Structure 1
Amino acid sequence: MRVLVVSPRVAPGILTLEAWDALRAADRVVSAEDGPHVQGIRSSGIDVEIAAGLPTEVDDDVIWIAPPGDAAWARDVATDLVGDAEWAIEIIFGSHDLPGASLLDLVAVMDRLRRECPWTQLQTHASLAPYLTEETNEALHAISSGDVDDLIEELGDVLMQVVFHAAIAAEGPDVRDIDDVAMGITAKLVRRNPHVFGDAVVTTPEEVDAQWNRIKAEEKQQKPSWRTER
């Protein structure tokens, strides 16, 4: 049996060649839920059944489509079905996210909280300031402890603060949002690293640091011209 995992961030019907070959070769295609990805597969002429429950047996001629983006569902099904048996269950990734794709989920969740959560709606830049300090300190503590899992969690909390502040800024008179934040820091990284993105030549970390500080000082003397105007 094969389990097909697709990304909810990739347009329905856009799958890898391996996924399409497996779908066309299968005797039955069953999905854990209906939705745009199932419709995209059906539009190619492949019949897809919608299951009322989880797979209960291993069938080599069946492909199950996991809920979009839920690789854990696929792994859990494989673990439950296989157990100590010698059956083979293959997980096929039919579409893949680009690095950073999960940031879109965070932005969407924050936007919904800003619309529907009474506490979130009340927050301002000023009211959130203590949390930004607190979360940053906790991330620094995680770095000192050397606990990578703890660090990832704390970095997530810091990232949430960035997205939270950006969501608030998007409602202000200047209408700045998370894309402005990302574009601003991206442009800064490109400007201040001309040895990577330009023709400057530096060979040591010390030279890189000196170059960064020199460009930073030059920028401070000029009016910023790289901001996006709306």
Structure 2
Amino acid sequence: MTTEAPVAPGRIVLLTASHRVAPGLLSWPAWQTLHAADRVLCADGAHPQLPYIREAGVAVEIAAVTAQELVDACAGGRTVVVVPSGEGDTALTDGLARLAGSGRVQMPDLELLPGSYDLPGARLLDLVQVMDRIRAECPWSSTQTHEGLAKYGIEEAYELVEAIEDGDRDELREELGDVLLQVIFHARIAQEGRDEDGAEPFSIDDVAGTIVEKLIHRHPHVFGDEHAETPEDVKEHWLRTKAIEKQRDSVTDGVPLGQPGLALAAKLASRVRTAGLDVPLPAGPGTGYELLALAVRAEESGTDPEAALRAAARAYRDAIRAAEGQE
């Protein structure tokens, strides 16, 4: 009496791929599996990976199979690869789970094979796509301008500072996102065409490219042949390259006058001190000149007067709430 050898159950490979990676950029194990498979199935005839898979000589069948049909296709030890197609994959995987849990079906081996992985920063691509759609379809967002959004940039920056001072990391993550939104929003508006002065449009890629070039140029101790052993060395490199780039006539050039008064005074004092200038403080009646002197002394001692005043104001707020019986 002879016994028949058990039939191999076969193998189902669910090939995953990140939509944030260019189609056709698959891992070597993914390509090996595709070439060795008995069948390759995909429910979406317009799947962006298909032209590249077919160009590599792999035949792909456009078919939306059920879980049972997929199991049957593996009979005799065959390997079937399923290329992801979106929402339909959930129904397929749920069906496979139900069959496996029933105990009535000899299941093929099931493998989840990552064909590509997200690189760090890949979710920024999602943000760009979401912003594109909002700009095109939202009645409010589609009418916004750089000028109209300016106040939100200031508000979000202050909320970010508050989250940092509170030490709230959850809030910090959210506020960083809100600040990033302002960058993406302005860049999206800027790519739509020339502005009123005829300036060329630019995109978020141009924004990123510009800051990448600036960072590389201003960090010769990282990307070049110079050396920096201390933070002071780094600051010296930064100030020197920045001065060469800007070719400013005055140390006050580039200091935004619209910033809060204490911060403005401290920034001017910092520029004067760094340049080695001897500039007497203007004298005059009124509180403004007294505050100017305080801000300059604070900057000279290494204290951020704006942050110091905010800290004092927060203590004052707490005292007010305590007096009101709220704390």
* Fold-level similarity (TM above 0.5): yes
Query: Which residue does 1:191 correspond to in 2?
Result: 217
Q: Give identity over the alignment, percent.
A: 46
Cα offset, 1:28, TM superposition: 3.1
* Distance in 1 separating the partners of 2:80 and 2:160: 46
Q: Which structure 2 residue ranges, 5 or more long, are not aligned?
A: 1-11, 250-327
Corresponding residue of 1:163: 184
Q: Which amino acid aligns with 1:113?
A: I
Change (3 A) 1:19 1:126: same
Q: Which has the higher contact order (CA 8 A, sep 6+)?
A: 1
Q: Give SS of 2:212's match.
A: helix
Distance 1:140 1:64, change over 3 A: farther
What is the distance in 1 between the residues matched to 2:178 and 2:108?
41
Normalising by structure 1, we get a TM-score of 0.74
Unaligned runs of 5+ in 1: 224-230
Distance 2:233 2:157 in 1: 29
Give 1:4 shift.
0.8
Q: 1:38, 1:48 within 8 Å by CA — same for their partners in 2? A: no
2:230 equivalent to 1:204: yes
In structure 2, the CA distance between the partners of 1:169 and 1:2, relative to structure 1 (3 Å rule), is: same
User: Structure 1 pair 202/159, CA: closer, same or farther in 2 (3 Å)?
Assistant: same
Aligned alpha-carbon RMSD (Å)? 3.5
CA distance, structure 1, for counterparts of residue 58 and residue 108 of structure 2 = 29
| Paired position in structure 1 for 2:302 | none
Give deviations 1:7-61, integer Å, cap 9, x for gaps. Answer: 33545444222112212333332335332313432442323343266x4677683
| Larger CA Rg, structure 1 vs 2 | 2
Contact preservation (8 Å) 1:23, 1:46: no
* Residue 27 of structure 2 is aligned to residue 6 of structure 1: no
- Cα distance in 2 for residues equivalent to 1:87 and 1:152: 44
Question: Using the alignment, how far apart are the partners of 1:153 and 1:219 within structure 2?
Answer: 34
Structure 2 counterpart of 1:112: 133
Distance of 2:43 and 2:190 partners within structure 1: 39
* SS of match in other structure, 1:118: coil
CA 198–13 in structure 1, closer or farther in 2 if over 3 Å, else same: closer
| Partner in structure 1 of residue 84 of structure 2 | 66
Residues 111, 167 of structure 1: 8 Å contact kept: yes
The two structures have a TM-score, normalised by structure 2, of: 0.54
Q: Deviations over 1:132-174 (max 9, x none)?
A: 2333344344442133xx5444323222210111122223231
> Secondary structure of 2:227's match?
coil
The size of the alignment, in residue pairs, is 216
The residue type paired with residue 44 of structure 2 is: E
The aligned counterpart of 2:116 is 95
Amino acid at match of 2:33: A
Match of 1:81 in 2: 97
